[in-house]
Structure formats: structure tokens, C-alpha cells
Structure 1
Amino acid sequence: MRYEIPAPMLAKAVPAVPPAEKVPGGLLYEPKWDGFRGLIAWDGETVEIGSRGAKPLTRYFPELVEAIPELLPGPCLLDGEIVVATGPQGSQRLDWEALSQRIHPAASRVATLAASTPAMFIAFDLLAVGDDDLLAAPFESRRTRLEALLASVEHPLHITRTTRDHDAAVRWLAEFEGAGLDGVIAKPLTQPYAPGKRTLFKIKHARTADVVALGYRVHKSGSGVGSLLVGLYGADGVLRQVGGVAAWSDVRRQELVEELAPWVERDDSGEAVTAAGERSRFSGGKDVSFVRLRPERVLEVRYDQLEGARFRHTVQFERWRPDRDARSCTYEQLDSVAGYDLADVLR
């Protein structure tokens, strides 16, 4: 048999842990792991690791490819998160930087990192087992079968913990951050698996978005990156500029020029291509031109709110996302703020 790896089921951001009684059929709460989303397909002969974007992750995690056939009792398709933990026993935490380093083009480097910073897979859903396709089954049923399948598996394969207790989930949101986790996920128990749909709920410690690096403006000093322009894809497939990232240190500005060099668009003579940037009433006579980048590099940013189709203020760089495909960076991921009457604020 050969499993077709679907697009993963996604979550929409909500401001607080929702009570289970607010959702028909109830909710199951899980920790939100801070790693790479991975869908592992083991067909009895080969292991494939799909990702949230278009980039396969199989070649980057040889230690998981080797361990999975030994640990799983039979062919299956798992949904979960690939994470790396570092630190001494008793005070380990998830290490995003160590995980992001695992995406490397050199096979020798991949092998070295697999030994020095080995990954774990945290399973939280079961999409198929043997010949049974479980996508249409309710999550409660899929979870029961996942627990039975992984009842006796060992490291580096784990099953995420869960609770039906709302108060416990609220505690997790605060407590698990100390271990590097990212928040809480709430999953409706009666839902089938919905590839690519945002039907789950995520509660994070900060409002973030994954955006595409479009270009950079040179710092006013004439050297280094002054600001990084970022964009999102609209429903029409058009990539639009939505804001910028600034506030780099002098050292970091110079480092970014080197880091971004492989993505700089160049003309036939090898010169960097520049473009005219957008002007606002605050621009005055400033030079708003920027060095264009191929729209391939993804970064996570923190933002406060969206105004129209753009971030209202300058956003803050959080981290690079080498696991994300640029085309997956759309407006759909952004929080939608519920309407509220100003009169009720003033009252």
C-alpha cells in the first residue's frame, strides 16, 4: 500500500481557551508544540515525511526515518510535530534554533546534526492505519485508535498528552511555556479530518504570522539592511506587501546582507535589481527604493493588528521559517478581530 499525504488540518487563532460546552460534541485540549508540522507515512517499506508546505522533510531527519519502521507496529499515516529538545535532564526545553538548523542542503551536515541534535516526533492524529482510511472518522475515534496504536512505542516517537478539563488547559497555556511550548490547541471531538481547513482552535502567547521576504531597504547610513519588506498572498494568488521589519542592531544589519544574498534578484549583468517602494504621506522625499528578493524566504513576525490589508505598525522579527513554503503564507492565517461597538467602550 502507499499512503497519499494530505495537506494538514490547520487551526485558527482565538484569544482564549474556549470552553468545551461552547462547541457541539465537546473539545479535547492538547499542548501546542513548537516545531515543524510533519505527516509521517510508513507503508511497510518506506518512510516519507510531508510538511505543512510543499517541502518534503524526509531527507532532513534520517534518525526518524531509521527509527519509525522499528517502532511502529504496522503501516500507518500519522500527523504530528517534529521537535528538538536541548538542555540537561530535568530542565530540557524545546529548541527552535537547533531545529531550524536541521534544514540544510549538505547531506554531511544533515548527518552530523541528526547525531548531535536528534529530533523527536510528537504524534497527535492518526489519518490511516493498515488499509483503513480514517479521514472521515470523528477526531474522538481517531484519537482512540492512535492511543491503541502507540501504546507501547518508545523515544523518539511520542504521543501528545490531552485533557478534557478546561481549567487544566488554561494552566498548560501558562506552565508549558517554560518548556518552550507555544500555547494550546483545542480540537472538536466530532470533526472529521479536514485537510487544509482551519477548523481547530489555537491559543498562543503572542500574535504571529508567517510572511514572505520581498526585499530590503539599505540603512540610512548607506550600509546594511535598514528594513525588510514582507508580504502575504491574497485569495487571488497575488503577493502583496503588508509591512516591514526594522530595529536591527548595527551588527545584525550587516549580517542580514550576507544572509539574504542568495535570494537577491539580479539582472543579466549580475547587478542587484531594485524597485520603487510604496510611498505614504510620511515618506516625504525619502528614498523608498529597495533591493528585490526572490519571494522564497519565509519568516515569522509578531504584530499587533491588521489595518485593511497591511500591518498597522512595524512588525518584529521572530525567526526564520525554513520549513514553510512561501505560497502557504496567506491572509487566512491572520487573526480576524470581532466587531465591537465604540459606544460600548465609551459607556
Structure 2
Amino acid sequence: MQLPVMPPVKPMLAKSVATIPTGALSYEPKWDGFRSIVFRDGDQVEIGSRNERSLTRYFPELVAAVKASLPERCVVDGEIIVVVGHRLQFEVLSQRIHPAASRIAMLSGTTPASFVAFDLLALGDRDLTGAPFEQRRAALEAAMADAGPPVHLTPATGDPALAQQWFNQFEGAGLDGVVAKPLAGTYQPDRRTMFKIKHQRTAECVVAGYRTHASGPDAVGSLLLGLYNDAGELASVGVIGAFAAARRKELFRQLQPLVTSFDGHPWARARQEQGTRTPQNSAGSRWNNGKDLSFTPLRPELVVEVRYEHLEGVRFRHSAQFNRWRPDRDPRSCTYQQLDEPVGYDLAQILAPEA
């Protein structure tokens, strides 16, 4: 492979802002998948991840699609997604990171991935990273004029009012906000030169366990959160994990009176079963092989208000953020019914608006 921009490349990043900014900007939907940079040189294709690891072996169907839809020699920044029905499904996408080639082959047929392109780093012998985004976008549109599914060009607009409409509507299709890119900006790997606007909501959750921090057994690494479902079961919805060092030790001391055994605990089966929607007390992590996922059970009596972005299935898509304790709330009142449900939106209208 001989390209003017060679792998690995760290993608350009975005910093969070509270509202959609205005000015000389291009606005795009914020896709919820695996950020990837695709390198193609003839029959050679490499798919790099955000952390510069190769994703090529996990998505054989995209290798074939890249050869069919992208220029002969190019470097394209984008997002790998999986669509189920009318929505993005990150949890289904994450199942593709698997050591068994047979499982990857099976999933590539049953839940195939798509690639959404949104920037062009190189074309032919031209390195475009020093060109303004406005020129890179025009070149990308021309280069993808004949592209077809599962390779797509992301929609873009210069109208902040339309961007706000996208922000309000597209969440129903599984997208998680809007990205704003300076039209004059060059491509700067690993630099936060773009802006992202994401949904923020609050929920009251039950704290049903904790994991210790790598700094020591007397420091809390994360709090395990639960919500009661319609069957009256406490379902695991995610974690809070961003605490200062001193706060981690303070939390450990604060939680000790609530420490209990697994006898009668709502997540007791997590000690024996794998693949359930409760925290695994023995299984490792798909993303970090060998990572300890054991946890200390707590009596489900403590309620915390958290900030979250959106749900993926029955869980928070990203780690929640601590807001405040809610000693006034009955843990049994912490149900899914308090959560906002975005109005459904057909993802096909985003990927193929001309249709």
C-alpha cells in the first residue's frame, strides 16, 4: 500500500458544546458507531480504528463494499454502523469484535455493517489534510457520486436551523447529536477542532453495587446503576465512573454500611450466568481481555440522580455522570417510565434522503 496518507492515523476529534454554534460551519448528524479511517490502494484495503488498531478482519463485507464504492486510491474518514430495522444498534455492532472468524463471518451475513463517510484525507496522489474542510467535502461528494449501499455519504448542511431540526428528530433513529465543522479547518489528527452537541437528560437510579478502582481496594472505581422494569426486576442500566481520587476513597467509606452478600441480591445470578443484562461478576470484557468485571453487591437502597445521553436497548449507551444524591426518592420508584423515549425516525431517510 502506497498512499499520500498512510496508516495508522488518529482521527480528528470534537469538543462538546451545550448548543449548536453558528458561523462558517458545516453541520452533520453525529453517528453512533465505530469511528474508522478507511485506506484503499487498489485491491488493498485497511480499516483503522480510533485507537489506531486494525478493524479490517472484523468487517469483511465492508472490505468488498469499499472496493465497489470508493475511489481506487483514497483515505476516507467515517463511521461503521449497524442498522436493525429503522435504527442504529451499537450493541449489535459491538458483537463484531470477536476472536472467532466463523462468528464474524456469520454476523457479517445476518447483521451486516455499513460505512458512512464524512471526510476525505487523500485522493489519488493528493494529500488533502492541509486543505480546508469546505474543499475536502466537495471532493468527497464528487468521489462518492457513484457510491452505493452499504457505503454512504453523510448528509451535511450550512443551515443551523436545519441542524437543530436534525438534532431533535434523528435521535429517534439512534443518532446521538450533531457535529459542527469549521469550513476553513484543516484535518488535524487527534485534535479537538470540531464541535459536538449531544443530548443530555437526567434519571434517578438505584445504586446496587460498585467496582474498586485500580488505585487500591479502598477506592471506588464505578457505581453500578439499576432501574426497575415492568416485571419489577432491577435491571442493570450502566455505571458512573468519573470521580476524583479523594472522592473515590470517600465513596468507599460511605458505601460500606450498604455492603451485602449475593444471597437475595437482585443481581445474584450474575455470579453464575453469562450473557444476561446484569453485571457479570466473573466474565471478562470483549474490549479489554482479562479485565476484572467483578463487583461488590450493595443493598439497593441508595438513589442517585445521573445525567445520561440516550439508551441503547435497556442500558445507557455511555457512562452516566453523577448529578446528586436523592435521599428523598424511594428506590422502587426508579423505573424506566421516567425516561424520555425519542420519537421514532426511519434511518433510511437519513442515509438516502433522495429516496
Distance 1:264 1:99, change over 3 A: closer
- Where do 1:251-266 residues align within 5 Å? 251=267, 254=270, 255=278, 256-260=280-284, 263=290
Picking from 189, 192, 196, the partner of 2:186 is: 192
Q: Does 1:56 align with 2:83?
A: no
Inter-CA distance 108–176: structure 2 relative to 1 (3 Å threshold): same
Cα offsets for 1:7-48 (capped at 9, x unmatched): 00000111111112xxxxx00000001111010000113110
Per the alignment, residue 15 of structure 2 pairs with 12
Per-residue CA distance 1:68-104 (angstroms, 9 max, x = gap)? 11222321000000001011xxxx1111111111111
Aligned residues: 250
CA displacement 1:288-337 (0-9 Å, x = unmatched)? xxxxxxxxxxx9302146xxxxxx779xxxxxxxxxxxxxxxxxxxxxxx
> Does 2:115 align with 1:121?
yes
Give the RMSD, CA atoms, in angstroms. 3.2
Amino acid at match of 1:301: S
**CA displacement at 1:264 relative to structure 2:** 5.2
C-alpha separation in 2, matches of 1:136 and 1:253: 55
Kindly report which structure 2 residues correspond to 1:56-205, keeping only aligned pairs within 5 A, or say none. Answer: 56-87=54-85, 92-205=86-199
Instruction: List runs of 5+ in structure 2 lacking aligned partners.
Output: 227-233, 236-265, 271-277, 296-316, 327-355
Alpha-carbon separation, structure 2, partners of 1:142 and 1:180 = 27
* Equivalent residues of 1:229, 1:244 under 8 A apart: no
Name structure 1 gaps, 5 residues minimum. Answer: 21-25, 209-219, 233-239, 266-271, 275-298, 306-311, 315-347
Check 1:178–1:196 CA distance in 2 against 1; reply closer, same or farther (3 A cut). same
The residue identity in structure 2 corresponding to 1:32 is K
AA of the residue aligned to 2:181: K
Q: Aligned residue for 1:288? A: none
User: What TM-score do you get using the length of structure 1 for normalisation?
Assistant: 0.65
C-alpha distance in structure 2 between counterparts of 1:252 and 1:85, whole Å: 33
SS in structure 1 of the partner of residue 318 of structure 2: strand
| TM-score, structure 2 normalization | 0.64
Q: Secondary structure at the match of 1:178?
A: helix
Check conservation: 1:231, 1:243, Cα contact below 8 A.
no
Give the AA of the match of 2:48: G
Q: Deviations over 1:157-190 (max 9, x none)?
A: 1100001111110111010001111100000000
C-alpha contact 1:135 1:194 (8 A) present in aligned 2:
yes
Q: 1:251 to 1:6 in 2, by over 3 A?
A: same
CA shift in 2, pair 1:108/1:17, >3 Å: same
Q: Taking every aligned residue pair, what percent have the same amino acid on both sides? A: 48
For residues 44 and 313 of structure 1, do their structure 2 counterparts lie closer, same or farther at Cα, with a shift above 3 Å needed? Answer: farther
